[in-house]
Amino acid sequence: MTDATRESESYYHLHLVSDSTGETLISVGRAAAAQYSSVRPIEHIYPLVRTHKQLDKAIQAIEECPGIVLYTLTDPELRNRLKTYCQTNSVPVLSVLAPVVRLFQAYIGGAPEPRVGGQHQLDGEYFRRIDAMNYTVMHDDGQHTDGLEGADVVLLGISRSSKTPTSIYLANRGIKTANIPLVPNIPVPPGLSDLKRPLVVGLVASAERVIEIRRNRLLGLNANQPNDAYIDRESVAEEISFSRRLCARHGWPVIDVTRRSIEETAAAIIGLLQEHRRRISESTGG
């Protein structure tokens, strides 16, 4: 096998055609692609495809760079046209929602009522996410700690322990999240241990991981200081120990984010939040 052949087999084209934002396709496509570490997808994303002219551009791109085609198209004409083109030209194609919708239909009965971007309607759930995002931005990095009782989740952690990105991700799921930086010898906000409604969670990571992120942060700011305690291993290890001791003393759960993605960390927090809410409901007789 030549080097050129090996190189051509190290990637493939993945076409994602949607009449909405394409988020569903992106998530499904990336989840499937992650199962094959030896090759990588080159994504071609076509959102808001709702006319034949818009579909023309997608088909032209597929023709120029053949690969796998995933789609979510509500309009039957557009759907059938894309499917026919791919089948005629031996291009692998799949409607990612069709099998799921068929399962729902078999269980619920009756025909579905297709709606373009149905999951993105401006309903109560949408405005709940906006409200959560506003709250989270206002309560980032220890701001407005007098309003913590209004949070669903309060995240604690030392600098560069993924507090802010995790908070934003949770907010996008409609979960009001505040985050508070932990610094040794500096007291946490008064009343934190007395919170009743919010779930308080500590985020920690290995010293090596924290140092790596902090060093990259300093380099990005052109402020690298090799001897600074900010990236000194002994100092960082003490910060981590301090945060673990604090959480243990108050009975707050701790999540190690060293090898977790933001999505995995958020999923773990959501699981803890559900259990936390169940306990509150049982204790109040709700």
Could you tell me the mean pLDDT of each successive run of 10 residues in the chain, 286 residues long? 51 96 92 93 96 97 97 95 97 94 88 64 78 96 95 97 97 96 92 95 97 90 70 95 96 97 96 95 79
**Residue 74 assigned ligand-binding role:** no
On whether the CB atoms of residues 210 and 160 are closer than 8 A, the answer is: yes
pLDDT the model gives residue 6: 43
Pairing between strand 153-157 and 199-204? parallel
What is the reported pLDDT for 2?
45
Residues forming beta bridges with residue 181, ordered by sequence position: 157
From CA 242, how far away is CA 274, in angstroms rounded?
27
How would DSSP label each residue in 2-70? -HHHHHHTTEEEEEEEESS-SHHHHHHHHHHHTT-TTSEEEEEEE-S--SHHHHHHHHHHHHHS--EEE
What confidence score (pLDDT) does residue 121 get?
Answer: 58
Q: For domain 11-119, which CATH number applies: 3.40.50.720, 3.40.630.30, 3.40.50.1370, 3.40.50.2300?
A: 3.40.50.2300
The CA-atom distances, in angstroms, between 7 and each of 4, 35, 40 are: 5, 19, 11
Alpha helix positions (H), 46-162: 52-64, 76-88, 98-108, 124-138
164 is in an annotated binding site: yes
Q: Name the DSSP class of 98.
A: H
157 is in an annotated binding site: yes
Consult the annotation and say whether 240 binds a ligand: no
Compute the distance between CA of residue 56 and CA of residue 117 in angstroms, rounded to an integer: 21
Kindly state the tokens that stand for 259.
């090898």
163 annotated to bind ligand: yes
Which H or E run contains 199? strand 199-204
Instruction: State residue 251's pLDDT score.
Output: 96
- pLDDT value at position 4? 45
From the list 34, 91, 33, the residue with the least C-alpha distance to 61 is 91
Is 118 within any annotated ligand binding site?
A: no
CA distance 144 to 160: 20
Beta sheet of 40-46, edge-to-edge order: 40-46, 11-18, 68-72, 93-95
CATH topology for 124-284 is Rossmann fold (3.40.50)
DSSP 8-state code for residue 187: P
Helix (H) or strand (E) holding 246: helix 233-250
Q: Determine whether the annotation assigns residue 162 to a binding site.
A: yes
Bridge partners of residue 156, in order along the sequence: 180, 202
Buried b (16+ CB within 10 A) or exposed e, 68-80: bbbbbbbbeebbe
CA 229 vs CA 91, 163, 223, 235, 247: distances in Å: 56, 21, 13, 6, 23
| pLDDT in the model for residue 5 | 44
Residue 281 is labelled as binding a ligand: no
With the C-alpha atoms ordered 216, 219, 223, 225, is the resulting torsion angle positive or negative? positive
Show the CA angle centred on residue 27, arms to residues 26 and 30, nearest 5°. Answer: 80
Please tell me the predicted confidence (pLDDT) of residue 146: 93
Which residue carries 């958020």 as its tokens? Answer: 266
